Chain A
Amino acid sequence: MRVGDPDVAAPEAAGAEATSPRDLMRRFLQGDLASLRVILAIALIWIIFDIQNERFLSAANLTNLFLQITAVGLIAIGVVMVLLIGEIDLSVGAVSGLAAAVMAVLNVKHGWGTVPAIAIGVATGAAIGLLQGLLFTRFRIPSFVVTLAGLLTWQGALLLVLGETGTVNLSNSGITDLANTFYGPAVSWIFAALAIAVFALVTLGGHRRRLAAGVTTEPTPLLLARIVVVAVVVIVAVAILNSDRGLPLALLILLAFVIGFQILITRTVFGRHLFAVGGNAEAARRAGIGVDKIRVVAFVLCSSMAAVGGILAASRLLAVNQSSGGSNLLLEAIAAPVIAGTSLFGGRGSVWSALLGATVIGSIANGMNLLALESSVKFMITGGVLLAAVIVDAVARSRRQAEGRV
């Protein structure tokens, strides 16, 4: 009797692996194919805005769009870590502002070099994450309360660090290079070629090893199709970017963090335990996993990425001021992964959701600005999109529960 042989599978489980159109539709609606759903949503948003204003899909505006989403995307990567364990971090906006302020003050007022100043900025985020994670696990306080207190505290700390002037200009600093460096055609095409080659080699290499070992793997045509799609996307993106200012360093930074964190959560023991804690903390505890340790690390990663996002935001704005990390940044960073399929209830999601969700939010904001809509309308539309995304998440979850899948 062979496991995986459909003929011997219990009847009540038949269809779990089926790929009939109806089954694909069901998975699509229930969130298993959330990424595809979001990509279609992005395409729709872009088409709608481009019909309204033909400059929307111009190279210059798309380059702007990518630069605009960098900070939110980076912060959202960290938010994914805490969402996966079923928690939330409301302090990411404030932490991003504080970390950027620490970096800016060290760099501008105390003459520290760019690299050490950035390192201390990120370390500030990590230390805050450690503190909040320990408070959460030691005293069993709900994470939203701990981080809500953090939000206020770190906003206060931001004002304190900035001092009386309230603004630190970065215009003469190397830090601004992060968001304002663009690579020309030669470098960007080399990057593109490398990215496609590495992706193809890793995908096909893993596929061959799995085939040789006789374990489950995706159908070869599907993998080939995926490689072709990735190659086309990369080539088109680089071509568009090159027709404007070139390949932005900020975009490379964002992609590097997305890919790095995605590998961390899907390919390592830590990632496996992160999902286990989010799925069933008691089961994880009984399996010998240090549940509290995983939780603290998730909060440290979250606040560290908030710091990285804050530093990129400062680099783009050329300054850190009292409103850094404020306004919609927090909401957008939490909403982004949720819009793109990372569950608020823990245990389900991917780092790509941070990038895709940030693109959705960024596209809507960018498009509405191009159309010069009233602020009132912009707020309400953004709110409606968030609500719709959370409803999709809740519906997907209740459907899974109806099928006995939590």
Chain B
Amino acid sequence: MSDPILSARGLSKRFGPVQALDGVDLEVRAGEVLALVGDNGAGKSTLVKSISGIYQVDSGEFLFEGRQVPISGPATATELGIATVYQDLALCDNLDVVANLFLGQEETIGGVGAVRALDEIDMEQRSHELLEQLSVTIPSVRSEVGTLSGGQRQQVAVARSLLGEPKVVMLDEPTAALGVVQTKQVLDLIRRLRERNLGVIVISHNLANVFEVADRIFVLRLGRRAGVYEASETTEEQVVGAITGATADTAEQERQL
């Protein structure tokens, strides 16, 4: 078992009277998929936004590849190699796949400032490479993103997050509102991220999907860690119990890994 690539220790975050996170410890290793589950309001989004630097935690620390690091904003998280794909994907539907993949980090041939000429050939080749590695199936890299299906859009958004060569990728509800075939495509893509030795954190409400793709399942309840389970040694009932608080969080159930 490798060392964790990212560990968060004792994360606490308060919004006014609401204790959104209360001393949460979380670890993710390279080449593993960690599912983050919990009821609405359990603090999943707060946890992800704290790791991606959108929120600043009140207390707690981050270790990235064993070194203690501050995460003071989205830019520092990105620099460390933590990429986040939010549920709304943040794609421009009027632009094609290549333009979306490289948006904000376009390859250029020459010129000054913003009037640099786009290097479309290079960007298209790199888009092909990336999407082929991930076995993403889209009609063409020149398709407008607005013409793609929900699953394809999700895959483009994930591929886009990989351009910065991150080490940890966080996906917020990647299979929400997707059909059966599209969900399978996205789950396959998550497996390929694991094969690339990335640490993957997936937020999901869908326990069937979670059990299909996750190595470990991290349950958050009322801002606290309610348990971490090996997916292969756990039943859906146990996880549901931890999410709802129906089962006590006993030492046998929880694997402190």
Contacts and interface: CB of A to CB of B under 8 A. Distances in A.
Interface of A: 1-4, 6, 8-10, 12-14, 16-17, 209-210, 213-216, 264, 267-270, 272-273, 275-276, 278-280, 282-284, 286-289, 297, 347-348, 400, 403-406
B135 interface: yes
Contacts of A8: 137
23 contacts: A3-B140, A3-B141, A4-B128, A9-B137, A13-B148, A13-B149, A13-B152, A16-B148, A210-B121, A216-B141, A264-B115, A267-B118, A268-B116, A270-B114, A272-B118, A275-B94, A279-B94, A280-B90, A280-B91, A282-B88, A283-B103, A289-B104, A400-B146
A275 B146 CA distance: 14
B138 A3 contact: yes
Nearest to A4: B140
B135 A1 contact: yes
Contacts of B185: 10
B95 A279 contact: yes
B17 interface: no
Q: Which 6 A-B pairs have the closest CB atoms?
A: A287-B104, A405-B146, A279-B94, A279-B92, A270-B114, A347-B94
Contacts of B132: 1-3
A272 B90 CA distance: 16
Contacts of B182: 10
B206 interface: no
A276 B95 contact: yes
Contacts of A270: 114-115
A2 B136 CA distance: 9
Contact of A16 (B115, B117, B143): B143
A13 B139 CA distance: 7
B111 interface: yes
Interface residues of B, number: 46
Contacts of B114: 268-270, 273, 297
Contacts of A9: 137-139
B150 to A, nearest CB: 8
B37 to A, nearest CB: 26
A405 B104 contact: no
B193 to A, nearest CB: 17
B137 A272 contact: no
Contact of B137 (A1, A16, A282): A1
B255 interface: no
A274 B92 CA distance: 11
Contacts of A400: 146
Nearest to A404: B146
B151 interface: yes
Given A278-B94, A347-B92, A403-B147, A216 B103 contact: no
A270 B141 CA distance: 21
A275 B152 contact: no
B125 interface: yes
Given A209-B121, A404-B146, A406-B146, A4 B92 contact: no
Interface in B91-133: 91-95, 99, 103-106, 108, 111, 114-118, 120-121, 124-125, 128, 131-132
